[in-house]
């Protein structure tokens, strides 16, 4: 029998299945509820007492590792590539905590069939019909995998912050060590100088009392004074020696602190490396069916031709993974294909147009034709990237809700077990450069000038967080780009900076000389679709996503100063609303189609800010620019058209 707690978890699991069907991501609490319901189903369902059958281990693979999640479809006649005998899988943690990832996937897959049946037996009014179909099962597995990978990525980010903090402490310890060393040297110099003076002094100078004589009473006073001075010099030397000894001890303590700080940095870095290895181990276990479903999770529909381009790229990727699945080909881990002379069985080196081996990818034969097989980590990175299509672009962010170009590529590859720097320039400097003619799906593609980066998708297309479209989108590969391959070892020396080019950060278009416009994204004034904007959390107010993020920071600072949130009356104003405002207030409202509100880059504020010279307005005048908001000259008190309530994101008018 199920306990009341388990029965409640089972009810929640049914709601979760409906969420899975809609492609929603699981929260940690929902994932825990699903696992509880799964355990209940496995314990009470038919055949629960029988352990699942295991296949024999493939040559070169640990026997304890399940391969059920990778079993090829029954219609396939192509042998699945396996690792050669004697070859060991690399980059595996020596000790795994919890249940093996493949086992977790198998349990969740089994639960998708058992949970509805058990629910129908123990929960009144439950109808389990219609559940357990294949696509839903793949989606459930993909959501479970995504949730687990996101948890590991969050853990790595925490450890990354710890490593950074430890490195700061290490630098402080080294600075203290250097200061102690300099102080010791000063003390040693002082001791040496005083000792040298004493060494060069004559006996008469060191011991003036030797000059006393009964025949010269006048010399007595001078001899006594000289003796006092000599004794004082001796005392000074003794003090300097003692201070030098203390400095020596201080230096030893400082060096111990440096050694301890270095140990802490190594320990934190090792823990972070274990998390990355765990992520790589998990993605190595994902089947093409699961990564195909992962690519379609969470993407946000967008308006216009961009949506069709995004969908075509996703469909092309899923077709590629479907072809691998149909042939029973499981992408190998990157570590298994680094040596073209020693590849897993069934694979051969991929060749460039010049006939040279392409490092980091292999070929397999499908229907008598060679097919490029990417590493499992690359497959996971590309699928994770595609699942973020439509997410807003915001400078300086790396997910999970908004991204800039460097943050997007770093976040995508982190979910594949690789930590890459967070900026396009650093990603180029630390990456393994490959010729653009040999670029492969998953490679980082750096636009001319090095200020923009994306992930190559094939067919001359790149996915990235673009400042041109202000969203994660599929864009054409820019001519003259450069490429790096994440799965290859980093170069011994950093790549030289790319030549300077006339390009904005993350693909932001440069305005024509002499012109200043607020236009963006290819939209017309007042015609920006809602899915290209971000809500401010107040009524239906929205702005361009980077402006919305900055507004949130401005709101937090204002709240800290005044105890109340910013009061807002207007933000993005669609064209129809501009027409209405101009009809009602022709002297105040801009001509429809010309308002900066129509670019989603202007706000009208209230609560005292609307009164020029007030405390609130003065605070905005002094602080708003720190968050990117300014009041144009024409709107300032005393301006051409005073509107103290009107503030814009950047100098756009």
Residue 607 burial by CB count (10 A; 0-12/13-18/19+): exposed, middle or buried?
middle
Per-residue confidence (pLDDT) for residue 254, from 0 to 100: 92
- Per-residue pLDDT for 566 more than 90? yes
Per-residue confidence (pLDDT) for residue 77, from 0 to 100: 37
252, 284, 316 — which closes off a domain? 284
Residue 118 or 322, more confident: 322
Longest dimension (CA), the chain: 129
Q: Do 280 and 346 fall into the same domain?
A: no
DSSP classification of residue 433? E
CA–CA distance, 88 with 206 (Å, rounded to integer): 78
- Give Cβ neighbours of residue 165 (< 8 Å, ≥ 6 apart): none
Going by pLDDT thresholds of 50, 70 and 90, the confidence category of residue 12 is low
Lookup: tokens for 403: 């991204």
The CATH number covering residue 312 comes to: 3.90.1720.10
CA–CA distance, 245 with 439 (Å, rounded to integer): 62
Per-residue confidence (pLDDT) for residue 191, from 0 to 100: 83
Residue 646 or 356, more confident: 646
Rounded mean pLDDT of 420-434? 96
497: left (phi over 0), alpha (psi -120 to 50) or beta: beta
Three-state SS for 297?
coil
Q: Tell me what the pLDDT averaged over the chain comes to.
A: 81
Query: Is 347 contained in some domain?
Result: yes
Query: Is 243 contained in some domain?
Result: yes
Nearest to 13 by CA among 92, 97, 179, 126: 126
Per-residue confidence (pLDDT) for residue 651, from 0 to 100: 87
Query: Is 25 contained in some domain?
Result: no
- The secondary element (H helix, E strand) that includes residue 247 is helix 218-284
Per-residue confidence (pLDDT) for residue 46, from 0 to 100: 38
Q: Do 633 and 540 fall into the same domain?
A: yes
Q: Do 320 and 468 fall into the same domain?
A: yes
Query: Is 513 contained in some domain?
Result: no
The CATH number covering residue 172 comes to: 1.10.287
CA–CA distance, 229 with 218 (Å, rounded to integer): 18
Q: Do 280 and 310 fall into the same domain?
A: no
Q: Do 497 and 551 fall into the same domain?
A: no
Per-residue confidence (pLDDT) for residue 422, from 0 to 100: 94
Count the domains in the chain.
3
Task: Domain of residue 191: give its range.
Answer: 155-284
Going by pLDDT thresholds of 50, 70 and 90, the confidence category of residue 521 is confident
Query: Is 131 contained in some domain?
Result: no
Half-sphere exposure of 142 (CA within 13 A, CB side): 28
- Give Cβ neighbours of residue 615 (< 8 Å, ≥ 6 apart): 608
Residue 71 or 252, more confident: 252
Rounded mean pLDDT of 50-74? 36
- Give Cβ neighbours of residue 299 (< 8 Å, ≥ 6 apart): 310, 314, 386, 387, 388, 389, 390
CA–CA distance, 81 with 288 (Å, rounded to integer): 14
Digit-coded pLDDT (tens) for 125-167: 334 433 344 556 888 999 999 999 999 999 999 999 999 999 9
Distances (CA, A) of 376 to 340, 381, 497: 17, 9, 30
Q: Do 315 and 454 fall into the same domain?
A: yes
Q: Do 480 and 623 fall into the same domain?
A: no
Query: Is 382 contained in some domain?
Result: yes
Q: Do 500 and 372 fall into the same domain?
A: yes
Query: Is 602 contained in some domain?
Result: yes
Q: Do 536 and 644 fall into the same domain?
A: yes
Digit-coded pLDDT (tens) for 453-511: 999 999 999 999 998 888 999 999 999 999 999 999 999 999 999 998 877 889 887 76
Q: Do 205 and 280 fall into the same domain?
A: yes
Q: Do 464 and 335 fall into the same domain?
A: yes
284, 315, 345 — which closes off a domain? 284
Query: Is 404 contained in some domain?
Result: yes
Digit-coded pLDDT (tens) for 266-311: 999 999 999 999 999 999 999 999 999 999 998 788 878 899 999 9
444, 473, 507 — which closes off a domain? 507
Q: Do 478 and 535 fall into the same domain?
A: no
């Amino acid at each position: 029998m199920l306990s009341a707690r388990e029965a409640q978890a089972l009810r929640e699991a049914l709601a979760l299945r409906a969420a899975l069907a809609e492609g929603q991501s699981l929260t940690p609490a929902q994932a825990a509820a699903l696992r509880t319901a799964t355990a209940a189903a496995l314990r009470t369902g038919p055949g629960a007492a029988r352990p699942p059958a295991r296949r024999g281990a493939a040559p070169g693979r640990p026997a304890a590792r399940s391969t059920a999640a990778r079993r090829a479809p029954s219609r396939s006649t192509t042998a699945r590539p396996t690792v050669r005998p004697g070859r060991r899988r690399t980059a595996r943690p020596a000790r795994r905590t919890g249940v093996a990832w493949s086992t977790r996937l198998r349990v969740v897959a089994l639960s998708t069939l058992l949970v509805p049946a058990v629910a129908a037996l123990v929960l009144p009014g439950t109808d389990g019909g219609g559940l357990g179909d294949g696509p839903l099962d793949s989606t459930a597995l993909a959501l479970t995998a995504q949730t687990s990978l996101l948890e590991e990525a969050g853990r790595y980010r925490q450890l990354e912050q710890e490593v950074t903090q430890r490195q700061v402490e290490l630098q402080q310890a080294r600075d203290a060590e250097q200061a102690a060393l300099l102080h010791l040297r000063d003390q040693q110099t002082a001791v040496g100088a005083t000792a040298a003076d004493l060494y060069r002094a004559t006996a008469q100078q060191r011991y003036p009392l030797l000059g006393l004589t009964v025949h010269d009473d006048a010399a007595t006073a001078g001899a006594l004074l000289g003796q006092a001075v000599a004794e004082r010099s001796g005392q000074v030397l003794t003090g300097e020696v003692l201070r030098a000894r203390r400095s020596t001890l201080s230096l030893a303590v400082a060096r111990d602190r440096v050694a301890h700080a270095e140990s802490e940095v190594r320990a934190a870095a090792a823990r972070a490396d274990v998390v990355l290895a765990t992520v790589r181990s998990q993605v190595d276990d994902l089947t093409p069916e699961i990564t195909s479903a992962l690519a379609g999770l969470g993407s946000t529909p967008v308006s216009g031709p961009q949506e069709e381009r995004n969908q075509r790229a996703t469909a092309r990727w899923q077709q590629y993974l479907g072809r691998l699945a149909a042939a029973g080909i499981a992408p190998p881990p990157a570590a298994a294909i680094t040596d073209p002379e020693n590849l897993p069985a069934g694979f051969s080196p991929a060749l460039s147009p010049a006939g040279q081996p392409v490092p980091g990818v292999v070929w397999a034969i499908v229907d008598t034709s060679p097919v490029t097989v990417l590493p499992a980590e690359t497959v996971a990175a590309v699928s994770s990237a595609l699942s973020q299509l439509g997410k807003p672009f915001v400078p300086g962010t790396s997910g999970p809700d908004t991204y800039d170009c460097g943050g997007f590529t770093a976040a995508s590859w982190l979910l594949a077990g690789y930590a890459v720097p967070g900026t396009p320039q650093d990603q180029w400097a630390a990456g393994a450069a490959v010729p653009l003619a040999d670029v492969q799906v998953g490679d980082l593609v750096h636009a001319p000038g090095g200020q923009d980066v994306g992930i190559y998708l094939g067919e001359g297309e790149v996915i990235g967080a673009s400042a041109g479209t202000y969203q994660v989108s599929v864009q054409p590969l820019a001519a003259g780009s450069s490429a790096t391959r994440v799965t290859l070892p980093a170069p011994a020396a950093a790549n030289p900076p790319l030549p300077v080019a006339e390009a904005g950060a993350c693909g932001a278009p440069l305005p024509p000389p002499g012109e200043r416009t607020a236009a963006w994204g290819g939209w017309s004034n007042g015609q920006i679709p809602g899915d290209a904007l971000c809500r401010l959390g107040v009524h239906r107010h929205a702005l361009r996503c980077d402006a919305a993020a900055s507004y949130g920071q401005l709101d937090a600072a204002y709240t800290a100063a005044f105890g109340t949130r910013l009061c807002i009356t207007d933000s993005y104003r669609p064209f129809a609303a501009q027409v209405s405002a101009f009809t009602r207030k022709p002297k105040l409202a801009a001509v429809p189609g010309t308002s900066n509100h129509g670019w989603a880059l202007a706000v009208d504020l209230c609560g005292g800010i609307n009164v020029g010279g007030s405390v609130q307005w003065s605070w905005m005048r002094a602080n708003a620019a720190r968050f990117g908001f300014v009041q144009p000259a024409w709107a300032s008190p005393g301006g051409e058209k005073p509107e103290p309530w009107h503030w814009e994101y950047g100098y756009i008018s």
